[in-house]
Structure 1
Amino acid sequence: MPARIDPEERRQQVIEAAFRLVIVDGIEGVSLRKVADESGLNIGSVRHYFDGHHDLLTAAAEEAGDRMGRRLA
């Protein structure tokens, strides 16, 4: 029986991969394919958790904002 994957944990894994790419390549360098490679997933898996490039960048920006809010609190 295959292991069950926590969807929220997997989303976080993909967002972390996007953060790493932003650091290296800038926001212009972030593509779904590069994020998939960086996170060790195939592009279909990334698309399962995010509707597209814009959705992924929106989620990453929200996560960054949440982290800043927690640090400031």
Structure 2
Amino acid sequence: MGRFQDRNRLSISQQLERIQRSRIIPRDTYVQITSAILSGQTLSVEERQRIIKVLDDIKLDRLRIEDP
């Protein structure tokens, strides 16, 4: 799998920032960010921190996973 980016070619950080504002994360994006962390994909410190924050927000019911 290549670097995680959305269809609009936003950076990981930009996409995760947008997700945090909307409070909804598409299931395929959730799978991608989880895979990025678990596979040891090369991520910047900022990208890793944002992914962890999004995963924490899901766990705390601040973000909702939604099927497209």
Common topology (TM > 0.5):
no
Instruction: Considering Cα pairs closer than 8 Å and 6+ residues apart, tell me whether 1 or 2 has the greater RCO.
Output: 2
TM-score normalised by length of structure 1: 0.29
Q: Greater helix share, 1 or 2?
A: 1
Q: Look at both structures and tell me which one has the larger radius of gyration over its CA atoms.
A: 1
